Amino acid sequence: MTIYLLKRLLIGIATLIVASLVVFLMLEVVPGDPARLMLGMNTSDAQVDLLREQMGLNQPLILRYLDWIRGLLRLDFGKSYTYSVPVIDLIRERLVVSFPLAVISLTLSTLIAIPVGLFAAARRGKAGDTAAMAVAQVGVAMPNFWFALLLVYVFAVWLRLVPAGGFPGWGNGIWPALKALILPALALALPQAAILARVTRAALIEVLNEDYIRTARAKGMPMRAVLWRHALRNAMIPVLTIMGLQFAFLLAGTIIIENVFYLPGLGRLVFQAIIQRDLIVVESVVMLLVAAVVLVNLIVDLSYALVDPRLRARQ
Amino acid sequence: MKQWKTILAAAALALASGTAAMAARTDLVLGMPLEPPHLDPTAGAAAAIDEVFYANVFEGLTRIGSRGEVLPDLAESWTISDDGKTYTFKLRSGVKFHDGSDFDASDVKFSLDRARGESSVNAQKGLFAPIDTIEVVDPATVKVTLKNPLGSFLYNLGWGDAVIVAPESAETNKEKPVGTGPLKFQNWAKGSSITLVKADGYWGDPVALDKAEFRIIPDAAAAIPALLSGDVQALPNFALGDALAQVKADPRFKVVIGTTEGETVLSTNNKKPPFDNLKVRQAIAHAIDRKALIDGATGGLGTPIGSHFAPHNPAYIDLTGTYPHDIAKAKELLKEAGLADGFKATLKLPPVGYARQGGEIIASQLREIGIDLQIIPVEWADWLKQVFTDKDYDLSIVSHTEPNDIDIYARKDYYFNYDNPAFNKVIDELNLTSDEAKRTELYKQAQKILADDAVNGFLFELPKVGIWDAKVEGLWENSPIQANDLTKVKWAD
């Protein structure tokens, strides 16, 4: 178990190092000068150079990389070129939107997907299964921005139950903030739930063919109990893997939904920073996300061990 | 009887609350597509900064009005010496910055010196280059001496980049802007919104609004439902594209199409063969069908232009007929240039709707005379590097949104690579002239030279598409300078 964990940890650290190099070099290759972008078309080259100097962009490449890594290790992410505030503050401001949104979406999608997957697997090949999977197929195929707009028109424009977008901040009370997150969370959760339901169903069906299921049924255990106690637990590994991937995506891959609901999330921060060549922000946020993905994977690996005693026993 | 009383009381109550609801609203939420990178108009070119703060929070010695005219602002009046070099400004009294400090002549000197200083990163530093000295005569009088007479000096002082800031707050304006205007900055929720509130003790007419919030909505598809649901009450300048049709017929909203200072041109590299040949540029001009272009790229809302000048300017002359749409003529000119079989070139397009859509149309129009354009979409950062700085391009499409910017054609090393001594002479003379009639005449000459030389493909003036609640009054129809002036905005009763 310890060796298993150590191995996972080392792989995680190696991933982080390689990612930092790739991220840094890739952004260096991208053409475009943040100083020129800020000053626009009416300024002389000398003045652009002056701003580059002030931004610290005229230092050699290797020095800037080492500076950046040294900062990261001390959790000092540097200062944004365009916003000229510490990057960590920007990330913190966005995480208070993106993190709860990701958690709510994943919870919603799990709450929908697991029962649907169980339901479909138990009725494999019957009408209920076909119907559930047809709906899931629509969910997978439906573009989420389109679904998001549909939600906006129904619940914000027509029924006026929730705002059409924006985020009031947690400072103005929990309910208004939650209200602003309901539609985006739904828009994100349903397509994810569709995928998750299909994975759950497939994993369950495979498990249901195992001998121990037949044994459990043979000893007179009701189907429902077999499904929950034996089948689901054994089918959890692929489901957890997908959930881990989905959570990482939900943290910053939601730029489209953030745009539809004009939410100040991490996705938009990165997007904006790329457009404005605010390289330090892009680099830091991407590294943070890489770290998040590595961490989520580590947790998923850990939870494998939890649901599968064989992994725990193996030394 | 008792029941009657209850009903009467209820009716009275309803009436009372009804009148309360009738009192005009004093808050306004405006949607804008781009977020300012920071909040200091004297330290960046981003139009979004001025769109929030110009005239609302920050004020200059002069300001630009809704029709593009120069108005007194923090300078109450001025006198100009006979040689046109010395401007003596009489400043307004009783003006305070939002942090409570007093405004006087030393702030003016500080602001202008800061903008033109060696370490200045003012995006329009060139505006201040003609200044020789700035002298504080007394707390209410400033004397500015120019190196040469400059006819547009008072206009230049009205730019957002020339607003007056205080020495105490200048360095923190990027995060916490402190100005002298009728509204003061309250809060910036990054990625979300900027909130302004009414400033107490404003020197001029107080604003009708108590609170104005600029909400960042990056997507036109999201802006319309925000308007329909009432979350946002005005989209003063939004490229809505097809979504416009959705609200156009709705009586709850006003759709106002105005003009801007954005001359949209087919930028041409005038030194690169074959574009260095006047005949080739003329052929391109003849091949362009502005009507089809404007219909396709702006939904029919742009105004055709024949030179680099805004149609709402009093000195504008219509030169769209210089090279009318004429395919046969265009082919003949290409033949005369020795390119009867046409040629291949690239068209680099920045990521804005008018350029990307307009580019497709231009490419198909030029194909008719045998010019085969390869379209290369680029990002803004890339565009500024490749096209603007390195001049590594054949053709591009972009809107030049700076006001009154015909002088860019006289600039050395500007990315058009255009150099015509006759034109430069007109601009030099313009700089030395302050007589309005004479300036108008010179502006007309300048427009004519550019049109005749077919320096760029002159396409259309970018429209300003505004939509707001039908009860909102006082928002600008046109955009003579990048601003959302809220000083006269109010809700109708």
Sequential DSSP letters for A192-252: HHHHHHHHHHHHHHHHHTSHHHHHHHHTT--HHHIIIIIIHHHHHHHHHHHHHHHHHHHHH
Lookup result for tokens 């200059």: B60
Average pLDDT value for chain B? 91
Q: What is the pLDDT of residue B13?
A: 47
Q: Do B379 and A259 touch (CB under 8 A)?
A: no
Tokens found for residue B269: 């590299």
Fold of the domain spanning B47-172: Dipeptide-binding Protein; domain 1 (3.90.76)
- Please name the residue of chain B whose CA is at the shortest distance from the CA of residue A166: B192
| pLDDT band for position B272 (cuts 50, 70, 90) | very high
- Smallest CA–CA distance, residue A239 to chain B, in Å, is 34
Which of B384, B386, B412 to mutate to probe the A interface, most A CBs <10 Å? B384
Structure tokens that stand for B193 in this block: 């919104």
The residue of chain B with its CA nearest to that of A40 is: B45
**Amino acid type, B295:** D
pLDDT band at A49; cut points 50, 70, 90: confident
Total residues belonging to chain A:
315
How many other CB atoms are there within 10 angstroms of residue B269's CB atom?
A: 22
Residue B118 confidence (pLDDT) above 60: yes
> Burial code of B472-486, b = ≥16 C-beta within 10 A, e = fewer?
bebbbebbbbbbbbb
A 92-151 residues inside an 8 A Cβ radius of B: 93-94, 145, 149
pLDDT class of B416 with cuts at 50, 70, 90: very high
Residue B185 has pLDDT above 70, yes or no: yes
- Chain A: closest CA distance from residue B247 (Å): 13
8 Å CB contact of B217 and A262: yes
ipTM of the complex: 0.80
Please tell me if residue A234 touches chain B, with a CB cutoff of 8 Å: no
On the question of pLDDT at B22 being above 70, the answer is no
CB contact under 8 A, A40 and B381: no
Token pair for B479: 């955009």
Mean pLDDT of A203-208: 90
Quote the CA–CA distance of B308 and A60 in Å, as a whole number. Answer: 42
Strand ranges in B401-487 using DSSP code E only, listed in sequence order: 457-469, 472-473
| Cβ contact, residue pair A153, B225, below 8 Å | yes
Q: With an 8 Å Cβ cutoff, are B37 and A45 in contact?
A: no
What pLDDT is recorded for position A1?
65
Q: B231 contacts in A (CB within 8 Å)? A: 156, 163-166
Using CB atoms, which residue from A30, A41, A93 is nearest to B190?
A93
Beta partners for residue A20, in sequence order = none
Binary contact (B389, A36; C-beta < 8 A): yes
Tell me if B219 and A166 make a contact (CB, 8 A cut-off): no
- Choice between B482 and B8, residue whose per-residue pLDDT is larger: B482
What is the C-alpha separation between A152 and A260, in angstroms, rounded? 9
Q: How far is A120 from chain B (nearest CA, A)?
A: 36
Task: Sketch the domain layout of chain B as residue ranges.
Answer: 27-34+178-258+464-491, 47-172, 262-463
Q: How confident is the model at residue B402 (pLDDT cuts 50, 70, 90)?
A: confident
The pLDDT score that the predictor gives to residue B239 is: 83
- The residue ranking higher by pLDDT, A289 or A200, is A200
DSSP letter (8 states) at residue A154: I
Name the amino acid, one letter, at A96.
V
Contacts of A42 in chain B (CB under 8 A): 45, 123-124, 126, 402, 405
Strand-pair category, B27-32 with B253-268? unpaired
Can you say whether residue B181 is alpha, beta or left, with left for phi > 0 and alpha for psi between -120 and 50 degrees? beta
Closest CA to B265 of B422, B127, B429, B387: B387
Tens-place pLDDT, residues B287-304: 999 999 999 998 899 999
- This prediction has a pTM of 0.85
Domain B27-34+178-258+464-491: which CATH number of 3.40.190.10, 3.90.230.10, 1.20.1250.20, 3.40.50.300: 3.40.190.10
- How confident is the model over B133-157, as a mean pLDDT? 93
Q: Across the A/B interface, how many CB contacts are shorter than 8 Å? A: 151
Contact criterion met (CB below 8 Å) for B215 and B32: yes
Q: How far apart are CA B77 and CA B74, in angstroms?
A: 9
- Contact of A256 with chain B, judged by CB distance below 8 Å, is answered with no
Taking the Cβ of residue A44 and every Cβ of chain B, the question of whether any pair is shorter than 8 Å is answered with yes
**A154-166: pLDDT as tens digits:** 999 999 999 988 8
- From A90, A167, A260, residue closest to B192, measured CB to CB: A167
CB B492 within 8 A of CB B338: no
Q: Nearest Cβ partner of A54 from B121, B222, B400?
A: B121
Q: How far is A197 from chain B (nearest CA, A)?
A: 30
Chain B contact for A60, CB < 8 A?
A: no
Residue B15 has pLDDT above 50, yes or no: no
Phi, psi (degrees; rounded to nearest 5) at A213: -70, -45
Residue B163, amino acid: V
Whether residue A277 lies within 8 A of chain B, CB to CB, comes out as yes
Burial class (CB in 10 A: 0-12, 13-18, 19+), B58: buried
Residue type, A119: F
Lowest mean pLDDT among A37-46, A258-267, B266-275: A37-46
Q: Do A264 and B382 touch (CB under 8 A)?
A: no
Where is pLDDT greater, at A30 or A198? A198
CA angle in degrees (0–180, nearest 5) for B348-B121-B115: 125
Tell me which chain B residue has its CA closest to the CA of residue A29: B382
Query: A156 and B119 in contact by Cβ < 8 A?
Result: no
Say if the Cβ atoms of A163 and B124 lie within 8 Å: no
> B126 and A51 in contact by Cβ < 8 A?
no
Residue B336 has pLDDT above 90, yes or no: yes
A239-288 tens-digit pLDDT: 988 888 888 888 877 888 998 999 999 988 988 888 888 888 998 888 88
Structure-model confidence comparison of residues B82 and A42, the more confident one: B82
DSSP for B348-401, please give it: EE-SSHHHHHHHHHHHHHHHTTTEEEEEEE--HHHHIIIIIIT---SEEEEEE-
The predicted structure's pLDDT at residue B362? 97
A59: Cβ–Cβ under 8 A, 6 or more apart, which residues?
A: A67
Residue ranges covered by each domain of chain A: 2-73, 94-314
Euclidean distance between CA atoms B247 and B229, whole angstroms: 12
Cα distance between residue A188 and residue A108, in whole Å:
9
Q: Does domain A94-314 have CATH number 2.60.40.290?
A: no
Residue in B40, B120, B121 to test binding to A, most A beta-carbons within 10 Å? B121
Condensed to tens digits (0 to 9), the pLDDT of residues A76-127 reads 888 888 777 889 999 998 999 999 999 999 999 999 999 999 999 988 889 9
Average pLDDT estimate for B422-443: 91
Stretch B209-215: mean pLDDT? 96
Residues, chain B, total? 493
Question: Rounded distance, CA A208 to CA A216, Å?
Answer: 11
Residue A120 neighbours by CB under 8 Å, 6+ apart: A128, A129, A132, A133, A197, A201
Higher pLDDT, B458 or A56: B458
Q: Among all residues of chain B, which has the CA nearest to that of A48? A: B121
What is the assigned CATH class of domain B262-463? Answer: alpha beta
Q: How confident is the model at residue B324 (pLDDT cuts 50, 70, 90)?
A: very high
